[in-house]
Structure 1
């Protein structure tokens, strides 16, 4: 029998040693100390990061305050510039502008009186202002105020000056109370423009009374033919030219006007030519009033021809043509002068009554071309239909600068007076706009 040898154990079967209670306690204490140390580090990090977070929140809040203040200051200087432009010709222009700046800003304190610079050459008023706004949060970090600035420029369109052409229907259907009402309405407009003065700086008025044609006496040199003794029987009315010149502002030096010979004879022209001749731009209220007071109604209606002559009284191409050596009409882009036309008619176009070859539709097409050409050159157009058929209103609303604002339908005499009154009230207020 073999003797027993030493006992051997496999490494796989060896059991791990069991830690003592002292060792376990030591490990728990070590972990606790590590957890306490990390908690203290996080607290420090949070503490240090809170300060910039608060500052950032304060900056955002005060930044919003600054944005609101800047927006309000911008609105205030806009109001100031517009007020100054409306008062362009008044001595207290700067005071008016500053009054509106102060009155429209409440979020801080304007440091100095707002700057107000007047551009006499182009009718502009430039206003700028700087304001100090108190902070709410940033004062905790030593920032008590913020500064905001704003600027605006407004322009007085025309800067108070005006060239006005009154294109007025004096056809036979205007006889009686209708013509009397027209005279009253037009004179009321003159009273608004001139008040008690006979002349006003940079104001000139033209009057184009029309029927089947427009009387341009005594300007026979504009005609293609001038036969001997023509001055004794020429009625004063020219015929239409051909092409675009029939309705645009081409001057007679470029294209002269043919004879008006209804029925083939110039001797018949008197039945369709109004007795009152057109008046070019004139400074004197008394001269304009005398023509209006002397209106005599006769003839048929051609608003397209009347309006084409209205354009010619305002076109700078005709400077020195109506009146030798005249400085009017001024250029279209003259910043000191607005150009305005008022067209009034009481009925449909009737080309057949004067033997014209055009259809009624063709005459309205010419009217539309004339109105568009005038508007393309910056002329403001008001149109009025007076006791006229409703079917013609679309032609005149389209002719006007805007259908809703510049077109008037006047079914009664009172409505006609009101229309002229509203036009007068509007055009005497200097139209203004913000330009930057």
Structure 2
């Protein structure tokens, strides 16, 4: 309450007490009927007058409560807090700081709730009481609501499902990844959406269907050829002799000028994949369905070698508008680059060295894995060289990149690409245990939410 209100209240209270005292004295004066009548009238009118004063004071204080609550709610909304508990703590402190109450009155209720991108608050204070013996007044209440400044979020989670991820490591990754889904994908999708795509990778990336694979890399007619043009490819192995492999539903690097860009596949086709198997679970485009994303994560098995650069490329493709036409549903399609209030994010997770690159759609001679290799080196260079080029080009499009090196064991190449690829040092995580991996994914999710709620 401001100084003027306090002064008015004090004067009115003193006036009321004076009038009541005067009236009582008049009733004791037996010298005149008119004095008695006047005193009785005063006794009847004074409580009504004080009641009107209470109404005035209540209206003034309710307005001050509303102003203070609006200010506190706006302050909480502008914070980077992402849970109701955090919002409530910030809002309570701001309300106390902004609301000055007269002596004897207090805040009896203060609640700030995070509801999607809104902060909804309620507060109550005890009423004024110049004449509490006559009027049993209710607490004074106010409510407020603020829509937070926010951003749409498109996140691609790129996960290592190679053979080295078997056992407890895969279990730990599944737990951490599902927690991340819950943090990033919001229950309320209006007025701002938050979507996530899943890209599991091993020796390549499985796009899920032969029809989509054909769209991406061009159709492969039935038959066998000694060039990579048919569904079956016969080639010379790096150690001599020939072997034959079938095409899979996985895709590999594209070659040429668009090798490390996100140019649409209709302009530059992706590479084919000839192997004994595809070696990874299939991708999930951008989705708001937590259950679908977590079901896919639960389906992962650990198998195959590590083509981390291909997983990384597909992380980019999932948030690239140039690949949007691949998806039949508009809800799966990324928005255009430069869209207002939009964040595009790629999270790359690996447990070790990128040891696989391709020549003619087959594991290249200079790959460092132990699988069957073709007798030619990788067309685009090593997996690490390609990964670095992809990261540079992504960052040039303002894609935010987080890297997570899980139990790398000091592998210098893997540590180097984690540091070189990320947006900056603050976006690099090198957890050495399952608990640390869970903490890393939680920290990334909270950071994404902080960016989502940034002005």
Which TM-score band (shorter chain)?
Answer: 0.5 to 0.7
Rounded Cα–Cα distance in structure 1 between residues aligned with 2:188 and 2:80: 23
> 2:175, 2:438 within 8 Å by CA — same for their partners in 1?
yes
Shift of 1:86: 5.0
Matched, 1:270 2:276: yes
Whose radius of gyration is greater, 1 or 2?
Answer: 1
Identify the residue that residue 224 of structure 1 maps to in structure 2.
218
Q: How does 1:347-358 map to 2 (within 5 A)?
A: 347-351=352-356, 352=367, 353=369, 355=373, 357-358=377-378
Shift of 1:326: 5.0
Rounded Cα–Cα distance in structure 2 between residues aligned with 1:102 and 1:332: 43
Residues 1:199 and 1:292: Cα distance change in structure 2 (over 3 Å): farther
Shift of 1:423: 0.8
Q: How does 1:7-86 map to 2 (within 5 A)?
A: 84=78
Matched, 1:212 2:203: yes
Shift of 1:393: 1.0
Rounded Cα–Cα distance in structure 1 between residues aligned with 2:380 and 2:260: 15
Identify the residue that residue 333 of structure 1 maps to in structure 2.
338
Higher helix share: 1
Choose from 421, 424, 427 the match for 2:448.
427
Return 334-343 or 295-304, whichever deviates more.
Answer: 334-343
1:100-147 superposed Cα distances (whole Å, 9 cap, x missing partner): 79969xxxxxxxxxxxxxxxxxx9xxxxxxxxxxxxxxxxxxxxxxxx
TM-score by length of 1: 0.59
Rounded Cα–Cα distance in structure 1 between residues aligned with 2:163 and 2:154: 28
Rounded Cα–Cα distance in structure 1 between residues aligned with 2:421 and 2:439: 20
Rounded Cα–Cα distance in structure 1 between residues aligned with 2:381 and 2:408: 17
Partner secondary structure for residue 429 of structure 1: helix
Partner secondary structure for residue 312 of structure 1: helix
Identify the residue that residue 399 of structure 1 maps to in structure 2.
421
Partner secondary structure for residue 410 of structure 1: coil
Identify the residue that residue 270 of structure 2 maps to in structure 1.
257
Q: In the comparison of the two structures, how many residue pairs are matched?
A: 294
Rounded Cα–Cα distance in structure 2 between residues aligned with 1:337 and 1:192: 18
Shift of 1:172: 0.4
TM-score by length of 2: 0.57
Shift of 1:248: 1.8
Cα RMSD for the two superposed structures: 3.7
- Structure 2 regions of 5+ residues with no counterpart? 1-70, 99-116, 118-147, 224-229, 233-245, 357-366
Matched, 1:203 2:194: yes
1:234-264 superposed Cα distances (whole Å, 9 cap, x missing partner): 521123211343222121110122422xxxx
Identify the residue that residue 371 of structure 1 maps to in structure 2.
391
> 1:207, 1:279 within 8 Å by CA — same for their partners in 2?
yes
Shift of 1:314: 0.5
1:361-396 superposed Cα distances (whole Å, 9 cap, x missing partner): 732121111111111111111101111132121211
Choose from 177, 188, 206 the match for 2:168.
177
